[in-house]
Amino acid sequence: MRTGLLAAFCLAALCCTAQVTQDSSAEQELLALERVAKLQACESKDLDTLDGILDDGFLYVDPSGKHYTKREFFTFVKSADSFQYVTEAMAVRLHGNTAIVTGVYQIRIVLHGQPSLERGRFVDTWLLKNGRWKGVASIDVSTQ
């Protein structure tokens, strides 16, 4: 009986360790995608990169509550004169094939010659599709 319990305990410990390793790997991948999507692709207006990491059904909600489809979001990114996007305090929460990434952001943007500075919080939802993480929704809430 003790041998069976010990074997079950060891098996459970190995499964938990494998899950923690997988979760850690997924967390690192998602944090890297956040940095690529927000920090680099938006700043450089790299729509090809954004297209690759955002789902076709992607929805963005800005701090004023206006929502954008993926194409409308791309139009917004292209129309900005410049972006400087900084994120901090990011956390990843995994729920099977879905991940929620939260954090704090600060964005300096020049839109049609008008500079703007916003600070707020974001909630991004990612879905694992065909072995790749795809951004499906992003909500920004201004704290100013």
pLDDT in tens, 43-67: 999 999 999 999 999 999 999 999 9
Q: What are phi and psi of 52, to 5 degrees?
A: -75, -30
Look at the chain and count its residues. 144
Region at 55 (left for phi over 0; alpha for psi -120 to 50; beta for the rest) = beta
Q: pTM higher than 0.75 for the full model?
A: yes
CA-closest candidate to residue 119, choices 108, 106, 128: 106
- Residue 22 pLDDT class (50, 70, 90 cuts): low
Round to whole Å and give the CA distance between 49 and 71.
Answer: 14
Would you tell me how many other CB atoms lie within 10 Å of the CB of residue 30? 22
**Structural domain boundaries in the chain:** 2-142
Q: Show the tokens assigned to 12.
A: 């459970």
**pLDDT digit string (tens) for 128-138?**
999 999 999 99
CATH 3.10.450.50 fits 2-142, yes or no: yes
pLDDT of residue 83: 85
In the Cβ-directed half-sphere of 38, how many Cα atoms lie within 13 Å? 26
